[in-house]
Amino acid sequence: MSIQWVRAAAAASLLAVVLAGCSGKNAENHKDGMDHTKMNTDSAPSSATAAHADAAAKSNTEATPVIRQTEFTLTAQPGNLEVESGKTLPVWTFNNAVPGPEIRVQQGDRVKITLQNELPEPVSIHWHGLPVPIAMDGIPGVTQNAVPPGQAFTYEFTANTAGTYWYHSHQDSVNQIDRGLYGSFIVEPKGDRADRDYVVMLDEWMSQGGAADAGTGSMDHSQMAADPHSSAVKNDPHSAHGTPGAAAAAGHDMSMYDLLTINGKSGASVQSLAVKQGDNVRLRIINAGYKSHVLHLHGHEWRVTATDGQPVHNPQPLKDTLLAIAPGERYDVEFQANNPGQWYLEAHGTEPGVKGLKIQLAYEGASGHHSDAPNDSAANLPVFNLTQYGQPGKSAFTLEQPYDLVYTMDLGTEEKNGTAVYTINGKAYPETDAVKVKKGDNVMVKLVNRSKSDDHPMHLHGHFFQVLSKNGKPLEGSPIVKDTLNLKPGETYVVAFQADNSGDWMFHCHDLHHASAGMVTHLVYSDYKSTFVADPKAGNKPE
Ligand code: C2O
Ligand code: CU
């Protein structure tokens, strides 16, 4: 079989089998000088090998551009991301950038974005947090068919709610977000007043290459990297969940994510943020990864002005406090640049790769001033507490008011047939029971994390919910409105929302390893009838 034939077939999933079967012979793919260990480990799911064959032919990604238009195309395409000097990963991109373009629109804008797919697998785009009409939500098999290679789909909606959002593929998302298919989506309010407004997007990678499937469970990746003949094992989808039983007992091992990035770069390669004395600075921090991080801003007092894009009422200044941010969450942080020098915003902790998760604030014309040193292992700093922050203000819901529907979601980790599954009320998707509402219903949901060691950052599509209580204690400060809420083991939260956006919406854990292993349900409007009919041949993978 000739190499030409192999390349021509890049779009076919058959390719994975072909390459796996002749991994020692596909010399052409190695000519670009990439090292073999990286290539070898990039082959866990069948799509990975195909993606890699394509990525090897591509040049490096470009810096994330800012798009300030309301009509444009996002092209999903392969590329190579240099995360730090000497370390390049094969990635999937929007417009050859990771993160994809920073999209900035004005509140009220009508936007029309065409997704063009130049990847070997079908893709989609979900606008995380932004309430769009159901047909634009980007869920393969639920709201649309996944967009096949070579084809396009146009998303059109009005950006009604200001705030910090993000977009990502929702097709096989545990793998596709892992590969880099995400970007920020900022809806600017009219008359905004920040002098500097930066996106700080967090993610984690496997330094050996590869995407989600390669790392689930307790497989030893260093060994996989070293063994050039192990590709057959890695291409076996059934090996994806690792040692039977181990995962459920030990909780979910995420240690394979040892390379942490901010805006697609790690450590010294992260582009610093320029400020000048007197500026009002806003950082829009977005966690696109599957792990929580705690961040420390040095040298400044700061305020949390929004959570998941929704404003906090009268936020007070904080100092030497850690900000925890879970998968899918966003925090807007604002501060006055009043301390010239060079300062870090950095992750604290001992997780693998933590030292790479830092970004510098660099005052213009401030040489000779403070030059900061990292102190990422400093412990004992208080952690920002969402439930006692800001001041009470206008609130849509209370704990006492009547609700049309009260629903409990018990979130659990179980072992079924030797693998870990993540359950809602004891069931794994697609067996989970939908939350059934009627338009106009006021809905109260009690979320309980019964897992021993897993966080569950729960994300509801198409709606915001207000957080009313944590562990039985009502919130004391500002009303807190979110679309993604992290529950640590043992925690209980009560949230409420109005069913005001008809459709069939996903409600799932944004540790997408958990979602792909069961922790997904739907919020279904009984008075809504979808006109979409899924094509069984589209290869839709909604979770
Ligand atoms: Cu960020 Cu269902 O997704
Ligand atoms: Cu979870």
SS (H, E, C) 408-447: EEEEEEEEECCEEEEEECCECCCCCCCEEECCCCEEEEEE
Greatest Cα pair distance, the chain, in angstroms, is 71
pLDDT tens for each residue of 477-522: 999 999 999 999 999 999 999 999 999 999 999 999 999 999 999 9
Express as a percent the part of the chain with pLDDT over 70: 82
Residue 298 tokens read as 């040095």
Q: Say what the pLDDT of residue 171 is.
A: 98
In the beta sheet, which residues pair with residue 158? Answer: 110
Asked whether 514 lines ligand 1 (CB < 6 A), one says no
Determine contact, residues 51/78, Cβ cutoff 8 Å.
Answer: yes
Provide the pLDDT confidence category of residue 400 given band limits of 50, 70 and 90: very high
pLDDT at position 33 over 60: no
Spatial neighbors of 455 by CB under 8 A, at least 6 apart, are 292, 326, 449, 486, 487, 488, 489, 511
Bridging pattern class, strands 358-363 and 341-348: antiparallel
**Ligand 1 atom closest to the CA of 177, numbered from 1:** 1
The Cα 303–Cα 316 span in angstroms is 6
Closest Cα to atom 3 of ligand 1: 128
Work out the end-to-end distance of the chain between its first and last CA atoms, rounded to an integer number of angstroms: 36
Per-residue pLDDT, averaged over 339-344, amounts to: 95
Closest CA to 326 of 200, 439, 165, 487: 487
Query: Which 8-state DSSP code applies to residue 392?
Result: -
Find the 459 Cα to ligand 1 centroid distance in Å: 7
- pLDDT of 244: 34
Cβ–ligand 1 distance for 81 under 6 Å, the answer no
How far apart are the CA of 514 and the centre of ligand 2, in A?
5
Q: How far is the CA of 24 from the centre of ligand 2 (A)?
A: 39
Smallest Cα–Cα separation from 484: which of 499, 454, 506?
506
The torsion angles phi and psi of 242, rounded to 5 degrees, stand at 75, -160
pLDDT for 267 beyond 80? yes
The encoded tokens of residue 497 equal 């929302």
Pocket lining: 461 vs ligand 1, CB cutoff 6 Å: yes
Distance 138 CA to ligand 1 centre (A): 10
What strands lie across the sheet with 100-106, from one edge to the other?
Answer: 66-67, 100-106, 182-188, 163-168, 126-128
Q: What angle do CA 121, 15, 515 make, to 5 degrees?
A: 40
Q: Are 256 and 248 in contact (CB under 8 A)?
A: no
> Over 90: is that where the pLDDT of 319 sits?
yes
Of the candidates 119, 90, 94, 49, the residue with the CA atom closest to the CA atom of residue 539: 119
pLDDT of residue 219: 29
Q: Judge whether 484 and 142 are in contact, CB under 8 Å.
A: no
Q: How many CB atoms lie within 10 A of CB 343?
A: 24
Rounded distance, CA 67 to CA 159, Å?
A: 15
Give the closest residue to 457 by CA, choosing from 512, 410, 406: 512
Report the separation in Å between the CA atom of 537 and the middle of ligand 2, taken as the mean of its atom positions.
Answer: 29
Give the mean pLDDT of 338-344: 95
More confident residue, 349 or 17: 349
Of residues 253 and 23, the one with the higher pLDDT is 253
The pTM (predicted TM-score) of the whole model is 0.85
pLDDT at position 404 is 98
pLDDT above 60 (res 189)? yes
Q: What is the pLDDT of residue 509?
A: 98
* Ligand 1 contact, 293 CB (< 6 A): no
pLDDT at 57: 53
Phi, psi of 214 (to 5 degrees): -65, -25
Rounded Cα gap, residues 440 and 284, in angstroms: 32
For ligand 1, whether the C-beta of 522 sits within 6 Å is: no
Residues 6+ positions from 520 with CB-CB distance below 8 Å:
424, 429, 430, 432, 506, 507, 508, 509, 542, 543
What is the pLDDT at residue 163?
A: 98
CA 217 to ligand 2 center in whole angstroms: 14
The tens digit of pLDDT for each residue in 369-395 reads 888 988 888 878 999 999 999 999 999
Least confident of 11-15, 103-107, 248-252, 472-476: 11-15
Looking at residue 49, the DSSP 8-state letter turns out to be H
What is the mean pLDDT of the segment spanning 230-254? 41
Identity of the residue numbered 394: K
Provide the β-strand partners of residue 248: none
Mean pLDDT estimate for the chain: 85
Ligand 1 neighbourhood includes 128 CB (under 6 angstroms): yes
- Tell whether the model's pLDDT for residue 61 goes beyond 80: yes
Cα dihedral angle (41, 47, 52, 53), rounded to 10 degrees? 130
Question: Average pLDDT in the 96-102 region?
Answer: 98
Question: Residue 58's pLDDT band (boundaries 50, 70, 90)?
Answer: low
Q: How far is the CA of 422 from the centre of ligand 2 (A)?
A: 7
Which ligand minimizes its atom distance to the CA of 514?
2
Q: With a 6 A CB cut-off, is 170 part of the ligand 1 pocket?
A: yes
Q: Does 459 contact ligand 1 (Cβ within 6 A)?
A: yes
Report the residue count for the chain: 543
Q: Is 330 in the pocket of ligand 1 (CB under 6 A)?
A: no
Which pair of tokens denotes residue 351?
């997780």
* Closest-CA residue to 55 (of 17, 1, 19, 103): 19
Ligand closest to 542 (CA) is 1
pLDDT value at residue 255? 85
Mean pLDDT of 215-239: 31
Q: Report helix, strand or coil for 351.
A: coil
Res 241 pLDDT > 60: no
Could you give phi then psi for residue 501, rounded to 5 degrees? -145, 90
| Protein residue whose Cα sits closest to atom 1 of ligand 1 | 128
The set of residues, in sequence order, having a beta carbon less than 8 Å from that of 100 and lying 6+ positions away, is 64, 74, 93, 94, 167, 180, 181, 182, 183
Amino acid at 132: V
Residue type, 234: K
Q: What ligand has the least distance to the C-alpha of 413?
A: 2
Residues 104-125 pLDDT 10s = 999 999 999 999 999 999 999 9
Does the pLDDT value for residue 40 go beyond 80?
A: no
pLDDT of residue 279: 97
